[in-house]
Amino acid sequence: MRRYDGVGVVVTGSSRGLGRALALAFAAEGAHVGVTYRTQAESAEETLALVREAGGTGEVHRIDMREADSVRSAFAAFEEERPIDVLVNNAAVVRDQPFMMLSPKDWSDSIATNLTGTYHACRAVLPFMMARRRGAIVNVSSVAALRATPGQAAYGASKAGVLGLTRTLALEVAARGVRVNAIVPGLLDTGMGARLDRRKVGERLAQIPVGKLGTGEEVASVALFLASGEASYVVGQALTVDGGLSL
Q: Establish if 247 belongs to a structural domain.
A: no
Q: Establish if 1 belongs to a structural domain.
A: no
Q: Which of 244, 198, 196, 188 is nearest to 219 (CA)?
A: 188
pLDDT of residue 121: 98
Q: How far apart are CA 155 and CA 74, in angstroms?
A: 25
Q: Establish if 161 belongs to a structural domain.
A: yes
Q: Establish if 3 belongs to a structural domain.
A: no
pLDDT of residue 40: 92
- CATH at residue 228: 3.40.50.720
pLDDT of residue 203: 75
Q: Establish if 246 belongs to a structural domain.
A: no
87, amino acid identity? L
Q: How far apart are CA 57 and CA 9, in angstroms?
A: 10
Domain extent for 234: 8-241
Average pLDDT per block of 10 residues along the chain, 247 residues long: 94 97 98 96 97 97 96 96 97 94 96 98 98 98 94 96 98 98 95 64 83 96 98 98 94
| Backbone φ and ψ of 82, nearest 5° | -160, 130
pLDDT of residue 56: 97
pLDDT of residue 204: 78
Q: How far apart are CA 229 and CA 226, in angstroms?
A: 8
Helix orientation angle between 17-28 and 41-53, rounded to the nearest 10 degrees: 20
pLDDT of residue 206: 85
Q: Which of 132, 100, 135, 140 is nearest to 228 (CA)?
A: 135
pLDDT of residue 51: 98
pLDDT of residue 143: 96
Q: Establish if 170 belongs to a structural domain.
A: yes
Write down the catalytic residue from 4, 37, 155, 233: 155
Cα distances from 185 to residues 46, 105, 141, in angstroms, run 24, 26, 7
* Other residues' Cβ atoms within 10 Å of the Cβ of residue 100: 6
| C-beta separation of 168 from 126 below 8 A | no
Please count the structural domains in the chain: 1
Instruction: Determine if the pTM surpasses 0.75.
Output: yes
Q: Respond yes or no: is residue 233 known to be catalytic.
A: no
Q: Establish if 26 belongs to a structural domain.
A: yes
* Other residues' Cβ atoms within 10 Å of the Cβ of residue 197: 8
Q: Establish if 232 belongs to a structural domain.
A: yes
